[in-house]
Amino acid sequence: MSLFSAVEMAPRDPILGLNEQFNADPNPNKVNLGVGVYFDDNGKLPLLECVRQAEQTLMAAPKPRGYLPIDGIVAYNQGVKALVFGADSEPVQSGRVVTVQALGGTGGLKIGADFLKKLNPTAQVLISDPSWENHRALFSAAGFDVGTYAYYDAERRGLNFAGMLKSLRAATPGSIVVLHACCHNPTGYDLDAGQWDQVIEVVQSRGLIPFLDMAYQGFGFGLAEDGAVIQKFVATGMEFFVSTSFSKSFSLYGERVGALSVVSRSKDEADRVLSQLKIVIRTNYSNPPTHGGSIVVGVLGNPELRALWERELGEMRVRIKSMRQRLVDGLKAAGVQQDMSFITRQIGMFSYSGLTKEQMVRLRNEFGVYGTDTGRMCVAALNSKNIDYVCKAIAAVV
């Protein structure tokens, strides 16, 4: 009898497991549309030029690596605040928003979840149906009961907005509602401005706690456009949470660059909230790493690099949009009868293709085209070389 003899084998992470399967696939034509990563038209993970230059500047004057403050690099947190709320915005100026550097967007969510658990241990967490797989896992692991609110309408290929409002109206006051700020993962369907107003109205009147997950700022319509929803929440004066990820927008996946921002009613409350966030961080990993955060500071704090970043982010956004159109056109040309134009109405890196699990399995086994069993495909992994092959493969299974 050993200490670990009763340990069960956990199921593989659905997305990362797909990656392993992809890597082991000998098919020379294989295409990985599973993981949410942006690849350029050559199928390569880009190193953004703004990142390369910021890194070069760091390398030119190497610094010793002392511990960072528990909440991270001051300039980094200021940069996040400026991006998410606006440097001159009232909540930033008044000091009622606190931002802490986090280990990616996941880390931001986790710090928020742990803090909320201490604040309100019996609250329910509501995530969209469907949502990013890790939302449920992460909030469950933090000790919450996780439920869902209606979101996707599979039949009509779009948002089940009436259902969403109905779910939120029925939520227990004090429930934590995880909302995708933009580029909904996995469906690609976002709320429009008027719908956000209605959701905010319900969230406010019902006394729900909004937790906005912003993992794709800049991939929808632009940094300011995608951030507009934050302004709407700010305008209500209510408390809310925002997790930020730079994994995609800076193509810095492995550096774990993200943040958590918490908006309070006053600076006094914000100061106390920050003190609690620091305890969560201190007891988990003590303080964040220096390198990725320093790169982001180097870009955001330098007007030329900042402009270059926006250009490069814009290029990624435009390339994804063009691949959506080419996918729709290519599927038609490959003989798919049904109207696939909904793909161009989706936003961000993903497309909920509407394909069944059986079709997705066939795509994988017969063609080496890897998407998730739910029919999610990463449009940002399509390129001018693999698009025709993917279109033909899809046409063969639908």
- Which sequence positions are flagged as catalytic? 132, 213, 248
Which one of residues 146, 215, 223, 390 is an interface residue with ligand PMP (CB under 6 A)?
A: 215
In the bound state with ligand PMP, the residue whose beta carbon lies nearer, of 99 and 245, is 245
User: What CA–CA distance (Å, rounded) separates 313 from 304?
Assistant: 14
User: Cβ–Cβ contacts within 10 Å for residue 141, how many?
Assistant: 13
User: Site size for ligand PMP, by CB under 6 A?
Assistant: 12
How many residues are recorded in the chain? 398
Q: Measured in whole angstroms, how far is the alpha carbon of residue 121 from the centre of its chain?
A: 25
| 213 contributes a contact to ligand PMP by CB under 6 A | yes
Query: For the packed helices 133-141 and 104-119, what is the interaxial angle rounded to 10 degrees?
Result: 40
Which one of residues 132, 151, 250, 367 is an interface residue with ligand PMP (CB under 6 A)?
A: 132
| 167 contributes a contact to ligand PMP by CB under 6 A | no
> CB of residue 108 vs ligand PMP: minimum separation in angstroms?
8
| 175 contributes a contact to ligand PMP by CB under 6 A | no
Which residue spans within the chain are E strands per DSSP? 31-32, 97-103, 124-129, 145-150, 152-153, 158-159, 176-180, 209-214, 240-245, 257-263, 350-352, 369-370, 376-378
Candidates 103-111, 197-205, 293-301, 304-312 — which segment interacts with ligand PMP by CB under 6 A? 103-111
From residue 197, how far is each of 170, 232, 264, 283 by CA, in Å? 18, 8, 20, 38
Q: Measured in whole angstroms, how far is the alpha carbon of residue 14 from the centre of its chain?
A: 17
Q: Measured in whole angstroms, how far is the alpha carbon of residue 32 from the centre of its chain?
A: 19
In the bound state with ligand PMP, the residue whose beta carbon lies nearer, of 134 and 322, is 134
**Binding string to ligand PMP for residues 275 to 314, with x set by CB under 6 A, is what?**
----------------------------------------
| 79 contributes a contact to ligand PMP by CB under 6 A | no
User: What CA–CA distance (Å, rounded) separates 58 from 306?
Assistant: 16
From residue 112, how far is each of 106, 118, 145, 262 by CA, in Å? 10, 10, 15, 8
User: What CA–CA distance (Å, rounded) separates 155 from 89?
Assistant: 41
> CB of residue 249 vs ligand PMP: minimum separation in angstroms?
10
Binders of ligand PMP among residues 235 to 274 (CB under 6 A) are 245, 247, 258
> CB of residue 234 vs ligand PMP: minimum separation in angstroms?
21
> CB of residue 369 vs ligand PMP: minimum separation in angstroms?
20
Which one of residues 53, 106, 264, 290 is an interface residue with ligand PMP (CB under 6 A)?
A: 106
DSSP string, 273-308: HHHHHHHHHHTTTSS--SHHHHHHHHHHTSHHHHHH
| 187 contributes a contact to ligand PMP by CB under 6 A | no
Binders of ligand PMP among residues 340 to 369 (CB under 6 A) are none
Q: Using DSSP bridges, classify how beta strands 97-103 and 257-263 pair: parallel, antiparallel or unpaired.
A: antiparallel
> CB of residue 152 vs ligand PMP: minimum separation in angstroms?
14
In the bound state with ligand PMP, the residue whose beta carbon lies nearer, of 14 and 95, is 14
Angle, vertex CA 155, rays to CA 321 and CA 381, nearest 5 = 25
217, 182 contact by CB (below 8 A): yes
Binders of ligand PMP among residues 3 to 42 (CB under 6 A) are 36
> CB of residue 212 vs ligand PMP: minimum separation in angstroms?
10
Question: Which conformational region is residue 83 in: left (phi greater than 0), alpha (psi within -120 to 50 degrees), or beta?
Answer: alpha
| 104 contributes a contact to ligand PMP by CB under 6 A | yes
> CB of residue 132 vs ligand PMP: minimum separation in angstroms?
4
In the bound state with ligand PMP, the residue whose beta carbon lies nearer, of 211 and 367, is 211
- Binding residues (CB under 6 A) for ligand PMP: these are 36, 104-106, 132, 180, 185, 213, 215, 245, 247, 258
